[in-house]
Amino acid sequence: MTSWRTLLARTAAITVVAALALVNTTPAYAATYEPITGSGSTWSQNALDQWRANVKANYGMTINYSGTGSTAGRQEFILGTVDFAVSEIPFQSAPEDGSAPEVPGRGYAYAPIVAGGTSFMYNLKIGGKQVTNLRLSGEVITKIFTGKITNWNDPAIKADNPGLAMPDKKITPVIRSDGSGTSAQFTLWMSKQYPALWSEFAASMGRGSGLTSQYPLFSGAKGQSGSNGVAGYVAQTYGEGAITYVEYSYALKSGFPVAKVLNKSGYYIEPTAQSVAVAMLSAQVNTDLTQILDGVYNSADPRAYPLSSYSYMIVPTEEKGVFTAAKGNTLGAFMSYFLCEGQQQASSLGYSPLTMNLVLAGFEQIKRIPGAGSANVDPNKCNNPTFTAGDSPSSNQLAKTAPQPAACDKQGPDQCTTGTAGALQSTPVSGSGNGGSASNATGGGTTGGGTTSGTSDGAATGDGSVPLYDENGNPIEGTSTGGGAAAVASPFTVKDEGWGWQQTAMLAAVLFLLLAVIAPPAMIRILRSGASKGGTK
């Protein structure tokens, strides 16, 4: 018969082997990644946060990121206090605030991150029902954000929306109060498409006629910091009547609608992944990978969303400041991940995946990063949804399958009754919208060529991730409660940065090892004590 000492020894040995096996399940490469830090854009932050969580859980990679705004990110890169920055516009040789030219003291390159649409998230009700099929022309948008249109029943807005009885309600434009790449992209579009309107406004605010990262606070507007700030304000109960410009991801995240914007073909289009992909086919790319968007703004494709663009990661091409070659290994691996596998999640997060030509260009920038030599730069090993093996660099599978817009989205007397994901709308009324504000509890219509329908439960809420702001725009504790009828789609939640399976396995291994070391001696003492007591009886 096997003695209890032998059984105990065997148990301890098995425990040690199990613990070592668990330790060995942690990939060896997880320990080779140096943590890296970046800052900048909030426009692309939802995508970045998801990717950071993914690589943390799956590869043990730590990517720290602060959404301080594009302007702050570029400044921190210049100071050498971050390993990378993210911005919607490149370094400015003549900043609009009169500050010194933005000239980094180290080599750098621009690499594309993700494409998307700058949207116009709004909070508007008719007859107590949340409106989600609002249509706006570019000229109307420009007039709203330059203070020329101040009421929702303005004749120009009613002309865009023949199927809605627009309410007599003040418009509250919500703008970015911090230096923002989103502001820069939006004002660039206005300066290119509506130069007279923008120049007049800019001059009245003491600004130049070109783009600005620092949006002027004008009478009737509210200023908020960050993309979450502007989206959070609009999403509150007191935000009824408000409209803001923000990357589509933030409207999707909070469950609020965005305006359909009139394109050059005369269709009102939403910033879906497919409509952005179509628009970006008309983008031109400079040799340094910065973008020229005139063709996007004026795309003749009826499916194109006119305010489409992509965001840049600014990466170092030499070791300087806080950046080292060891960090370059991490940065290269992270970039390879988000250029390929990470793009699979772009659509669900409210963005549009990068195309093959931009991925290939991103690979070339990875090669310039010190220490990034082991990163994958093979397009045949790149699981990106916009291309397959054998595709040309200019192809885009997402654009190829993009449906034509619905007939009711064409400029004219008809107006679709549903927006994205079959969200409920106010019931269309005939004429110019001067009648009563009728609404119902069911919706149905076509979106992007497909039939959709929706029902109202009378109240929609966000996912709890949009911060609360008081009526003056100051952040307070709590989460958004939203309001109104069902909005754009089911809000998404960015995956938390928690322990991955590797960290869990390591903890289990440590516990097993402790058990193997501590338990056998303790059991021996207990058994000996019991035997001793038994012998004295």
- The residue length of the chain stands at 537
The predicted pLDDT at position 327 comes to 98
Bridge partners of residue 36, in order along the sequence: 63
Let me know the angle formed at the C-alpha of 274 by 54 and 303, rounded to the nearest 5 degrees: 165
The contacts found for 427-430 with CB under 8 angstroms, 24 or more apart, are: 428/162, 428/163, 428/164, 429/163, 429/164, 429/165
Bridge partners of residue 261, in order along the sequence: 136, 269
The predicted pLDDT at position 20 comes to 46
Helices of type H across 26-126: 45-59, 70-79
pTM value is 0.78
Whether 164 contacts 133, CB under 8 Å: yes
The predicted pLDDT at position 523 comes to 56
Residues (pLDDT < 50) of the chain are 1, 4, 7-8, 11, 15-31, 420-473, 475-489, 499-506, 509-510, 536-537
Its sign, for the CA torsion 282, 285, 111, 224, is negative
The predicted pLDDT at position 449 comes to 34
The predicted pLDDT at position 501 comes to 41
The predicted pLDDT at position 389 comes to 83
The predicted pLDDT at position 366 comes to 98
Residues in contact with 52: Cβ distance below 8 Å, sequence separation at least 6, in sequence order: 63, 65, 497
Of 213, 265, 247, 308, which is closest to residue 121 (Cα–Cα)? 247
Task: Compute the distance between CA of residue 423 and CA of residue 488 in angstroms, rounded to an integer.
Answer: 6
The predicted pLDDT at position 22 comes to 44
DSSP H or E segment with residue 331: helix 325-339
